[in-house]
Amino acid sequence: MLQAVLFFILMVGAAYLDIRKRVIPTVIWCSVGAISCLDFRPIHLMGILAAVPLLIIAVWIAPNRLGGGDIKLVAATGLVLGLQETNMAVILGLSLQIVVFGFVFLLQRVKAKEKGRKDFKDCSMPLAPCLTIGFLCIYSLKLGGVINELI
């Protein structure tokens, strides 16, 4: 139960700081990794691999678009949730990010049209809030027994 409370507090803190300052401090993702020791299972070490696709995106596909803090947060959360659950949470979070981004993009486009401009400013959004929602949803399902260990 202590792990659940700490995980919730750290995830909300990461989302808040990413919205306000566009940075996820080292203490946040290190603390998330540390609380994995409260309910340690060796198979959860594979959860770090959930960050590999994000690392590939950040390095080769879209440099300067994805922050290192997001990648480290996913890796640390992988230690808490495990590989399959972290992958589910990342998919949920990124899907939510797409929906939110689409809504903000359309809203900016409408505002630009109202002002008589054809162009609109570049839209940049923090990723941690959407990832946090995905992580907390999957963690809650796992905690409630809906999601059992898959490996």
**16 closest CA partner among 28, 4, 6, 5:** 28
**16 closest CA partner among 133, 103, 115:** 133
> Residue 148 falls within a domain, yes or no?
no
Q: For residue 74, what are the domain limits?
A: 2-143
- In a 10 Å sphere around its CB, with 0-12 CB exposed, 13-18 middle and 19+ buried, how is residue 115 labelled? exposed
> What's the total number of domains in the chain?
1
> Residue 149 falls within a domain, yes or no?
no
pLDDT tens for the chain, residues 1 to 151: 899 999 999 999 999 999 999 999 999 999 999 999 998 888 889 989 998 988 888 888 877 778 888 999 999 999 999 999 999 999 999 999 999 999 988 888 888 788 777 665 667 789 999 999 999 999 999 887 777 655 4
> Residue 36 falls within a domain, yes or no?
yes
User: Residue 11 to residues 104, 116, 150: CA-CA distances in angstroms?
Assistant: 23, 40, 24
State the Cα–Cα distance between residues 12 and 6, nearest whole angstrom: 10
CB 139 within 8 A of CB 80: yes
